[in-house]
Structure formats: structure tokens, C-alpha cells
Amino acid sequence: MNVVRFERAVRMGAKNLWQYKMRAGLTILGMVFGVSSVIAMLSVAEGAGREVQEQIRRLGSNNILISSQKLPQEQFSGGQSGGTSQIAAYGLTYEDANRLAVRVPYLVSSCPAKVIQQTVRFRDRQVETTLVATVPQYPEITNHRMLAGRFFTKTDMDKAAPVCVIGARLARTLFAAHDPIDQTIKLGNDEVYRVIGVMGDVYTAKSPELTNKPLWFVGENQDVYLPLISYFKRSGDLFMHRTEGSSTFEKVELHQLILTVDGEEHVMPAYAAARDTLRTYHKREDYQIVVPLELLEQSKATRRLFNIVLGAIAAISLIVGGIGIMNIMLATVSERTREIGIRRALGARQRDIVMQFLIETVILSITGGLIGLFGGALIPKIITLLTNVKTVLTPLSFVVAFGVSVAVGLVFGIYPARRAALMDPIEALRHE
């Protein structure tokens, strides 16, 4: 078919569809919903997957996270029932940290920490928050960034200095718009600490810039950070939990230990060494080991599966749209039987008839696909605006949705087109 005949066939197809605007419009609407739903569902899946992976990356792909874990069958020692205190000892110890520092290969740094829920007070304001007693390299290992002042140093640790760093949100809550540096706060049982710095959230590529921004407007960090030695000398390792008629003391030397190795390729050998070392010295598995790199790989696999499942579900609507195209084209063939007979009698070949009906099918598919692309770009933005759910539009989702819509239209248009082409010209001319 030369270019002139093809252009004439396209004009004829558009004219035929325009004669039945309502029917063609409803058919196109099915393709619009199909394409839009494919793009929207893939964007939601992509957004959710990236959000999970971003959270895992914040833990550090070169890190191994070990935390104390209280077992359900934890047995108390030295306690009696009926209002008497009981003591439960479990979890990581200072000796564990020393052993792992020696036995784990490729280790760059080790960051122990106590993590306790406590009340922090400044004058007449008080907030329940998380206290993190740790070591000076904590911000570098966890990728936090300082907003004002400084983090505590090795000298502060050696002197067990009563200093602390507070999160940006806590600074806003306790000090309003005032500078918290060099102010004193009280922790727990009126232990006094001097604020030497304000720390923000975990730093990412999308973190807001700090230029011209007051520190109390940046970040949601509400924790308090202080030297591990300072906390130990003032509060020790016992933590009391009160219940009706009794109180329980838990002895936990370290709640968390972050091991950092020199490269992602060495994470798994280091993890194996840490696991074997802890199994040797712990009769019970009162600890938990998390490898962010392993979680990241699992997340990527889950994300791929999630995209396939959601894409398949959304593709059903495209198939429904394709069935709609087949229905309208079959109806068109029945209505235009006499026209087909006349064209055949005047010399039109079977492939000319097939081409004519396929062109009409493609027009419906492309029109519905193009409108669907616009809807697919708009729906995720509405979802994000109304629900605050992260969505990510990718070029691949547009290509896949549009390509599938055209392919579905062609597949479902072939049967009506062949049915029209295979009609007997004489019987078609007799059709009323």
C-alpha cells in the first residue's frame, strides 16, 4: 500500500469512527482507564520500593547492626514475687564489643550505644524522648549531620564530661526560637548536662540545604546524645520498670552495636564472624543481627515482584478495553457489510479490508493511550497530594502502558478485520 492510499485509508477510518462518536468515545474511555491505571499502580509501587530502599540505605550498606533482645522466656534472677524487685540481665556486653573489635575481619569502626527512653527537662518544659549514650564517631557511622555547635569528642569521653547534643526538633520544643548551645538540661533523675550541639536527621541526597535556615526549622530529630562513659558513671546499667505491686530491673550493658566494614563485598564475611563470635559467648540468643545490605537486596527482589504483580493487575483493565474494541469493531463489521461487499466488487483485496479495519482499531488504541498517558501522569500527583504517599513516575511505565495499549488494540482488532475481509462479496452485496 503506497503512502497516498495509506493516508486515504487513515482519513476514511477517522471519518467512520467520527460517525459513531459516542460509541467510539466509550471504547476509548476503556483504554484511557487501562493505561492510566497501569501507570498509576506502577508509580505507587516504584515510590513504595524507593522509600523502603532509602530507609535501608540510611542504616548504611557497609554496616552490621547488632541489638540486645529480651526473650519472652527471660528468667529473672534474685527476685521474689509480691512487691520485691527482680533483675533480668540480657543482651550485649562491653566484653562483646571488645571481642568483636578483635575478631571481625575488615572492621573499620565499632560504635556501641545505650538507647533509653527518658524525660528531658528545661525549666518548666519537659519531653519524653530517646536518650542515646554512645561514642564520638556516632554521627559519621549513622550519617547524621550537625546543624549547630559540635558533637562530643574523645576528650569529653575520657573526662566523662556532662555534655550532650540534642536533636533539632527537641531544640525547637524545649528552647523555642532561642539558641540552645551552652544551655543546661536535666535528664532522668535530675542529671544535669550542658548542650554543646544540635544534630539534624540522617543526611541523604534529598536533605534540605542548611543555608539561610535557622536550625530549629531543619529536621525531626528529637533524640539526646551524650558520652557513653558519662551516662554509665551517673546511671549505671540498671533500668527499672514499674508494674502493679512490683518493680523489675533490667541489666543491659549495651542496647546497640554498629560495626562498619571497609566495603560492601566484605559485609557478609564480617557478619559471619560476628554471628559465630556471639554464638560462642551467649547461651541464649538474646541479640539480633541486621545486615542492611542483605535487606537492600531482598527489598530489590521484592520490589521487582511487586511491580510485576501490580502491572499484571492493572493490565487486566487494558484487556477489558481491548474486549471493548473488539465489540465495537464486530458491530461495525455487521453494520458495514454492504459497504464491504461494494468495495470487494470494485476490486478491493482482502488485505485492503483488513488494513482498513486495523487502522480504525489503531486509531482507537492510540487515542485512548495518549489520553491515558496524561491521566497516568496526573493520578499519582493527586495520590501524593491527598495521602502523602510517595509515587515515582518512570519513563518505562509510560512506554510499557502505551505499548501494551496499542498491542492489545491490534490483537483484539485482528479477528473483526479478518472476519470482514473473508466475507463473500456476493452475500455482502445482498445484505440489507
> Residues 212-220: what's their mean pLDDT?
59
pLDDT at 314: 67
Residue type, 119: T
Q: Given this model, what pLDDT does residue 144 score?
A: 86
Measured CA to CA, the distance from residue 29 to residue 74 in angstroms comes to 62
Max mean pLDDT among 68-82, 303-317, 368-382 falls in: 368-382
pLDDT reported for residue 195:
94
C-alpha cell at 229: 562513659
Of 99-108, 124-133, 314-323, minimum mean pLDDT range = 314-323
The predicted model gives 266-283 an average pLDDT of 89
- Are the beta carbons of 260 and 270 closer than 8 angstroms? no
Residue with more model confidence, 282 or 355:
282
Is the torsion defined by CA of 396, 402, 406, 411 positive or negative?
A: positive
Could you tell me the pLDDT band of residue 83, with boundaries at 50, 70 and 90?
Answer: very low
Contact in structure between 112 and 254 (CB atoms under 8 Å): yes
Question: If phi over 0 gives left and psi between -120 and 50 gives alpha, with beta otherwise, what is residue 319?
Answer: alpha
The per-residue pLDDT for 76 is 45
For position 345, what pLDDT does the model report?
Answer: 67
* 204-208, 231-235, 424-428: least confidently modelled range: 204-208
* pLDDT of amino acid 84: 46
Pseudo-torsion of CA 379, 385, 391, 392, nearest 10°? 80
**pTM greater than 0.75:** no
pLDDT tens per residue, range 85-116: 567 788 899 999 999 988 999 888 889 999 98
Q: In the prediction, which pLDDT does 165 show?
A: 95
Instruction: Give the up-direction half-sphere exposure of residue 209: CA atoms within 13 A in the CB hemisphere.
Output: 2
pLDDT tens string 134-145? 999 999 888 888
* pLDDT at residue number 153: 92
Q: Which of 8-12, 66-70, 255-259 has the lowest mean pLDDT?
A: 8-12
Q: For the ranges 2-16, 163-177, 249-263, which has the lowest average pLDDT?
A: 2-16
Mean predicted confidence (pLDDT) in 185-200: 90
